[in-house]
Structure 1
């Protein structure tokens, strides 16, 4: 009986039926999702189907100019099909079905959509776009099935076969690289075609093969997550967990509820890891290939919360699901289970944690306020071969009262054609020069997974957190490189960087600021964003020829173009750079956050050491060769 995938025609224990969804949309959050979905469906019925030259929210105009089927236009078209199909199923109104079929007709037309493949992915017969569209069309087919004529069913089967399935099977025969490499391509393309097989069932002769090809790999894919849920790529790409969640959600329905793999590792653990990597008012730790204000991908938390009955994950979903999102995701309505009562994190959930697997991400915050906690500090260990990662081992970023202050520059304005090859680190965003870490003789960090930083210690309590990282393996020509970070919840951070080199070298330490902060002669500088202030100072404790100044990045020809040849617009991203030349060096960086309305004051060198007044209390930095601490000074 159909529908059967992510929504059932009949009641099955543990699964959501059409009747369940029709009842749920009458009240609460499900009603909000339904109204948003229906508004989108109503709007789409009044406009022509999308083609690759169309502009839609969030799309780069250059992609439309080149008629490139990029992620945005493809996902928008996929969402349109699924949204209208679901609206037709729930309401029974034929106009929504007609729009879904109209968009499919455009997708199947080689004049309007020459192929389901990005211009940058021509080396494989089927790519991300093939997975996105094949999955969406097949799900819509399952949901619309009861309302379709035999001719309409054949029209959809023939279209998805020609545009998606046959191209994919060609990629299988050619042993496309993503069949053996575990990353988001595998979960999108192989997993997406597996979902298509489950949706099409006996109506397509290759369905069984599509499922078999996917299931073995999707089961194995789970092993890429660390023991504590760490994603194997950078945080910005961790929302790609949505892809295996879609697959295993579909599989749960395909097995009629007998297999609930979303309740097993790694899904609950990786949701908790990602929760720690989220900062108010709704952004993620901006490491690697991402955007500085990218919102968290929270929609799939609804599926994991429902599968596990986890109240904390339900809170995260309800708190962050609409943060910065213009997209309407019809799967969200089917995933959300209103019977799971949300519970916000409280004192039982530590405010700081280090995750040693993969990138070794670390976070420490004042509290779990979802909108404007006074301070969040993100750090990482890292290694030289992270998926979508940069040369950023040891990176530290600071947010205060919901504002970015000390930042990671994330991705270039668009992906260059050679960004995933030997020239990757010619772009400052990916290279060591674009991060808040040591650089020696302007040389890049070592590349390779064995070139790994190690978290030596990480401790968190009610007062804050402290961690120490050994970065030696990430550099060449060094005896040892260490970074220690201390976060005091009063709003103070101290970072101690030490290096012993084989020979004297030019040494640089950069702090990238959200504004164009400029240091004074003492090394003090002030960062400001929307009334939030960060008072900072860099101190040289050991080293010769120490200087400090503000600089800006610029892209250098020929490394200044996107993948389709368009020249970047320089963003003139600013940083404070401390420089010296020596064989041994120790630099101390000090930070203190001031809330909106507070008047910031600079760090002072007193007889007690470096101190700062935060109103009623002053704080001082205690530093020795073996210890770094933030203490009350009065």
Structure 2
């Protein structure tokens, strides 16, 4: 039998070393460089000292600190987490535990111990004495949270994200509060990390469980949580910690390879945030505890992934939320860490400008470098080749700028929808074309056989084409075949042919930003026999159709959509109503065009432009997509 050398190389590269050798990794010496004492995870004593000084000298850092203190003070009177599942998940409790413990413990270390204070004296004033007393309450409340979680019957290993996040929470708390934990408290927390975290994790590693082989967010989250938990107790539980760290270091490169070649993430911005946050936990823990990142820093694309975070967010503050993503990215404190790790001050500048859901790592990893001017120097348009997603933007730092997120990609990606060719559109400070995002994960078959029956996930629930009333091929890919980032006319063209191969020989969509305001969406369909094509776009704007025009109104702004081709096309608008168990949609409607091809090449061309006035004379000359730019190679 003839062996394909490329396939053999892929197998060797993609198969973990321990699997190639027929057994688990031998990592007895992985802890050889383990830092003694605590804290040693994510931040060290000198980092806490740096942040104390920063709070005194930097107004933005001081505001962050004040906000965290307010949050921690409220938590003092809250009940600890409970072992309560929502559907199959304990995840909300694990995340609550992590947020509380990391915030409370960090504030204690920052302000609670007068022996560690920088530029302060414990007896300086009653205010300082009160603050010290308050911080000890923060430590006690964090310990209460950890002991409650440690006493849970389990950390729900059937949904291992829950287990990993809880191991991360207790690992951080154990490390940062080690000096104030009693011997009995240490033993209880350490035992829980071993029995409810690391042991079920090893069961997955040893048999090659699915998240250990995954190339998406589960990999980073599970490996990150396991590694933080292991490093926290590595001096007391050396054997199991070494084995966990050994397995994790061989597993995580699989997911890290997904960032190649340029930092894009196929699961969408929300899951980018989740995956990279845990990559930062993993990376930072290795560096602070072992002074070794196992060469992960050199993996292709990861140094650039902060650019994906920057480009994916429109001037409205809303993300291009393709796949199972929410409309916002969420807090991204890891951008501060990446700014330092890769010497990219622009990451820190963007993180400060676009802060949301502030967490303690926004402060602990704070980087004051970078300015708005650094962001302005970035290209306004970007194409992430690894995932075939493009972003077009008229200008940075303009809330009224025009922005388009446009997706090719792979329908087989984790959390994907059947959304090849979909887009979002911002202009005049509003989002005109919206993505509907995820539905309820607890619905029957959401991640299984019924996934493509739910409206938000089906092709009809996207801003793309439906041909003959059917979904896109769930296995299809759509490469971006042309791209230009010229300031006066940026565009991207995606080849959607594989998504509609059952119905047409060739289907392509091009999206262009013209003169920094108008957006042209051009579809070309070449079918051997007649097909029914439905063009659709979802919006929360009021929409009034008038033949070839539809006028959208939102918050006093207007946007006009005009059909340039075919001349006979007319708009229809319908309200989108979803019945339970689907999550409801409010004030959402669908702009639609219908076209019946006659077995030849056909074209649908739509021009979106601000303002209500019809301006047919301003319409661009329509050229075939093949003439927009010669296909991009390489």
TM-score class, shorter-chain normalisation, is 0.7 to 0.9
Shift of residue 162 of structure 1?
3.0
Root-mean-square deviation (Å): 2.5
Residue 33 of structure 1 corresponds to which residue in structure 2? 64
The answer to whether the 8 A contact 1:78-1:133 is kept is: yes
1:15-59 Cα shifts (integer Å, max 9, x gaps) = x43322322222323222222222222221222213256xxxxxx
Shift of residue 137 of structure 1?
0.5
Q: 1:409 to 1:204 in 2, by over 3 A?
A: same
Residue 555 of structure 2 corresponds to which residue in structure 1? 530
Matches of 1:417 and 1:72, distance apart in 2: 20
Residue 115 of structure 1 corresponds to which residue in structure 2? 154
TM-score normalised over the length of structure 1? 0.83
Q: 1:18 to 1:493 in 2, by over 3 A?
A: closer
Residue 58 of structure 1 corresponds to which residue in structure 2? none
Q: 1:178 to 1:344 in 2, by over 3 A?
A: same
Residue 5 of structure 1 corresponds to which residue in structure 2? 41
The answer to whether 1:181 aligns with 2:198 is: no
Residue 162 of structure 2 corresponds to which residue in structure 1? 129
DSSP-derived class of the 1:203 partner: coil
Residue 145 of structure 1 corresponds to which residue in structure 2? 178
For residue 250 of structure 1, the aligned residue among 285, 293, 302 is 285
The answer to whether 1:196 aligns with 2:229 is: yes
The answer to whether the 8 A contact 2:532-2:594 is kept is: yes
Residue 6 of structure 2 corresponds to which residue in structure 1? none
Runs of 5+ consecutive residues of structure 2 not aligned to the other structure: 1-36, 114-134, 629-634
The answer to whether 1:366 aligns with 2:380 is: no
Matches of 2:222 and 2:414, distance apart in 1: 17
For residue 525 of structure 2, the aligned residue among 482, 499, 511 is 499
Shift of residue 181 of structure 1?
1.5
The answer to whether the 8 A contact 2:266-2:409 is kept is: no
Matches of 2:603 and 2:293, distance apart in 1: 59
Residue 28 of structure 2 corresponds to which residue in structure 1? none
1:348-396 Cα shifts (integer Å, max 9, x gaps) = 42211222212x1111111111x60421011121222122111111112
Shift of residue 259 of structure 1?
7.0
The answer to whether the 8 A contact 1:263-1:308 is kept is: no
Matches of 1:52 and 1:282, distance apart in 2: 35
Q: 1:213 to 1:506 in 2, by over 3 A?
A: same
The answer to whether the 8 A contact 1:375-1:398 is kept is: yes
The answer to whether the 8 A contact 1:382-1:393 is kept is: yes
For residue 514 of structure 1, the aligned residue among 518, 534, 540 is 540
The answer to whether 1:350 aligns with 2:376 is: no
Alignment map for 1:330-345 (pairs within 5 Å): 330-338=360-368, 340-345=369-374
1:90-120 Cα shifts (integer Å, max 9, x gaps) = 213431221111112221234xxx4322xxx
Residue 54 of structure 2 corresponds to which residue in structure 1? 24
Matches of 2:450 and 2:172, distance apart in 1: 40
DSSP-derived class of the 2:417 partner: coil
Matches of 1:37 and 1:107, distance apart in 2: 22
Structure with greater helix percent: 2
The answer to whether the 8 A contact 1:383-1:474 is kept is: no
The answer to whether the 8 A contact 2:198-2:230 is kept is: no
DSSP-derived class of the 2:324 partner: coil
The answer to whether the 8 A contact 2:510-2:625 is kept is: no
Matches of 1:514 and 1:532, distance apart in 2: 12
DSSP-derived class of the 1:569 partner: coil
Shift of residue 199 of structure 1?
1.8
Residue 338 of structure 2 corresponds to which residue in structure 1? 304
Residue 155 of structure 1 corresponds to which residue in structure 2? 188
DSSP-derived class of the 2:78 partner: coil
Q: 1:580 to 1:232 in 2, by over 3 A?
A: closer
Residue 94 of structure 2 corresponds to which residue in structure 1? 74
DSSP-derived class of the 2:421 partner: coil
The answer to whether the 8 A contact 1:353-1:460 is kept is: yes
Matches of 1:420 and 1:225, distance apart in 2: 23
Q: 1:409 to 1:423 in 2, by over 3 A?
A: same
Structure with greater strand percent: 1
Matches of 2:372 and 2:516, distance apart in 1: 26
- Matched positions, count: 564
The answer to whether the 8 A contact 2:444-2:450 is kept is: no
Alignment map for 1:370-519 (pairs within 5 Å): 372-413=399-440, 415-448=442-475, 451-475=476-500, 476-519=502-545
Shift of residue 531 of structure 1?
2.3
Q: 1:510 to 1:459 in 2, by over 3 A?
A: same
Residue 78 of structure 2 corresponds to which residue in structure 1? 47
DSSP-derived class of the 2:532 partner: strand
Matches of 1:276 and 1:573, distance apart in 2: 26
The answer to whether the 8 A contact 1:228-1:355 is kept is: yes
